[in-house]
Amino acid sequence: MHRSTFGCCFRRTLAVGAGTVSIVGTGLLYALENAIKVEAFEHFPHPASLPWDHKRVFGTIDMASARRGYEVYKQVCKACHSMKWIAYRHLVGNIMTEEEAKAEAAAVTVPDIDEAGNAIERQGDLNDHLLSPYPNIAAAKAANGGAFPPDLSMLLLTREGAEDYVFSLLTSYVDTPAGVKLDEGKHYNPYFPDGVISMPQQLFDGGIEYKDGTLATASQQAKDVCTFMRWTAEPFYEKKKRMFLKSILFLPLLTFVLLFGKRHAWTYIKGRKSMWKIVKGRERPKSKSS
């Protein structure tokens, strides 16, 4: 009876603990996943889930597409949007060779301070970050009708839908519907809040020419720049995915070891037996009726 009661209590406690951990863990993961994302789909269409290569279980970022995406950023997006968290050295071995990255950096002039504390301008190097198109936020707003173009370095991590949303936004400019009035300098895009956006359509068929000869349709440019933005948002995306897959493969072995350890640790308790020895002179008194 003692062993049965103990085992029942232990199993009940274990079940309650496992359930609590599961619920708390699920809630924490959901909170972390959605804590910094902008809820941008309350009153307008949700973007379709597109078949990105890196979203497959064993998929990786298409670096050829990411390299073309850098060309799109450089020739189109860079005019208004910054990527201040990306340095030229980050591009080496991923987007371009070291020589190409050095040439890219050397082509820009970087503001700096000399040893005497005087403001100077020097040639860029690999340690410099990609320059912002505007010196400050006020200048950026003044040049864009009061709207501030967001930094693109980690934009995909802050938008619900990530690359699906950005792709849909870039490729969904349409004529203003009847009855909708837009202020001067505004444009209509159903995937933007209220459908009103300050950024005009940027991607057009044949708008740029790719170095590798790929046909630069508007949708191809959008796909490539979204892939590039995924890489800038998570440079270690593939490494994280490999670690996750390895941990998943390791879980069955870990589960077996933990179960074996649990059985070994509790064997002496679950398998013990209780014995009573009656000491002479301390016997239970006999009833008077007997």
Judge whether 176 lies within some domain.
yes
Mean pLDDT of the chain: 85
Judge whether 11 lies within some domain.
no
| Statement: the pTM of the whole predicted model exceeds 0.85 | no
Supply the pLDDT for residue 41. 45
Average pLDDT estimate for 120-135: 93
Average pLDDT estimate for 183-189: 90
**Which of the two residues, 164 and 178, has the higher pLDDT score?**
164
Q: In the Cβ-directed half-sphere of 206, how many Cα atoms lie within 13 Å?
A: 0
Judge whether 202 lies within some domain.
yes
Supply the pLDDT for residue 25. 62
Determine if residue 80 is labeled as part of a ligand binding site. Answer: yes
Judge whether 280 lies within some domain.
no
Determine if residue 81 is labeled as part of a ligand binding site. Answer: yes
Structure tokens at 98: 């070291």
Determine if residue 264 is labeled as part of a ligand binding site. Answer: no
Q: What is the pLDDT of residues 6-64, one digit of tens each?
A: 455 556 665 555 656 566 666 666 655 555 444 444 566 888 899 999 988 888 899 99
Average pLDDT estimate for 158-185: 91
Judge whether 13 lies within some domain.
no
**Range(s) of the domain holding residue 166:** 32-237
Average pLDDT estimate for 152-164: 93
Judge whether 189 lies within some domain.
yes
Supply the pLDDT for residue 45. 80
Q: How many domains is the chain partitioned into structurally?
A: 1
Judge whether 158 lies within some domain.
yes
Supply the pLDDT for residue 2. 45
Average pLDDT estimate for 159-174: 94
Judge whether 103 lies within some domain.
yes
pLDDT at 88 over 60: yes
**Which of the two residues, 146 and 25, has the higher pLDDT score?**
146
- For residue 216, give the CATH number of its domain: 1.10.760.10
Average pLDDT estimate for 140-159: 93
Determine if residue 9 is labeled as part of a ligand binding site. Answer: no
Lowest-confidence segment of 118-127, 190-199, 267-276 by average pLDDT: 267-276
Supply the pLDDT for residue 36. 46
Lowest-confidence segment of 67-71, 162-166, 265-269 by average pLDDT: 265-269
Q: What is the pLDDT of residues 194-247, one digit of tens each?
A: 889 999 999 999 999 999 999 999 999 999 999 999 999 998 888 888 888 888
Q: Is 203 exposed, middle or buried (0-12, 13-18, 19+ CB in 10 A)?
A: buried
